[in-house]
Amino acid sequence: MKKYLLIGIGTIGLIYSCATNPMTGKKELNFVSNSELFPSSFQQYGTFLKENKVITGTADAKRVELVGSKIRAAAEKYAIYLGQPQYLNGYQWEYKLVDSKEVNAWCMPGGKIVVYSGILPITKDEAGLATVLGHEVSHALANHGAQRMSASQIEQLGAVGVAVATGGQSAEKQQMWQQYYGIGSQLGVMLPFSRSHESEADKIGLTLMTIAGYNPEDAILFWQRMASQSGGQSQPEFMSTHPSDATRMANLKALIPQAREIAAKVNAIK
């Protein structure tokens, strides 16, 4: 019976057999082109801004725009360093501060960024904000949104595969194998996939903020403040979409020398 579970999960293995992303250097699954994804992203961003209170003209709003522009410039420099000057074609960068108590920020495909005012007490300064914006921009640069969409499609196909493979069994057994497949695909594939995206965004984001002139060690200070804000309450890492606080900070600490080395090379390009 185990083979039925493997049929579905094996299908998701295609995730690791597609084109190489220049920002991560890894194989990625991506069925969605930027020409398809960006217009939808821009439209959704515009709708979001109309439905929420955008803060303008304040010192905080200006800081978001300033740090955002520095991260954008760092991303453009990094793309040139990687030999991919055309990689950011089609991006329409925009940075908005939105009035919300939510401790969050995000970047949609194509460079559309929102920072919620609720995260500012934790970012505290430009370096903390650069940590957040570098991380969120990196999700877009690494095509994580498109990859999640593609992975979801593959997961659905896997469920169909399980249904076909168990079609001759009783309804109870078919339901059982679908449940096994759902749990196995989530814990064994989709959640690790999501955590890998977070780690990739941490790595690229650390590099971007360093290229932009910020001290990468401040990234660790920001995540320490985030960990304190959560009160230490979190799911076990294997059940979460994000790495644990301890894993994240240990990884960032190990990446600091590399981020500084790359930033020095990038900023040496005339």
Give the residues across from 254 on adjacent strands: none
Residues identified as active-site: 136
Q: What are phi and psi of 216, to 5 degrees?
A: -60, -25
Q: What are phi and psi of 91, to 5 degrees?
A: -70, 140
Report the 10 Å Cβ neighbour count for 6. Answer: 16
Rounded Cα distance between 247 and 219, Å, is 14
In this prediction the pTM is 0.74
pLDDT at residue 33 in the model: 73
Rounded Cα distance between 134 and 219, Å, is 10
The predicted-structure confidence for 11-24, as pLDDT tens digits, reads as follows 444 444 456 777 77
Q: Where are the alpha helices (DSSP H) in 98-190?
A: 120-123, 126-141, 144-165, 171-185
Contacts of 43 (CB under 8 A, 6+ apart): none
Provide the residue count of the chain. 270
The predicted-structure confidence for 100-138, as pLDDT tens digits, reads as follows 999 889 888 899 999 999 999 999 999 999 999 999 899
What's the total number of domains in the chain?
Answer: 1
Stretch 31-35: mean pLDDT = 69
Domain of residue 22 covers 2-268
Cα 74 to Cα 83, 138, 162: the distances in Å are 14, 11, 45
Rounded Cα distance between 31 and 29, Å, is 7
pLDDT at residue 199 in the model: 85
The predicted-structure confidence for 233-251, as pLDDT tens digits, reads as follows 454 333 344 567 888 899 9
Q: Is 97 helix (H, G, I), strand (E, B) or coil?
A: strand
Stretch 36-42: mean pLDDT = 86
Of residues 170 and 109, the one with the higher pLDDT is 109
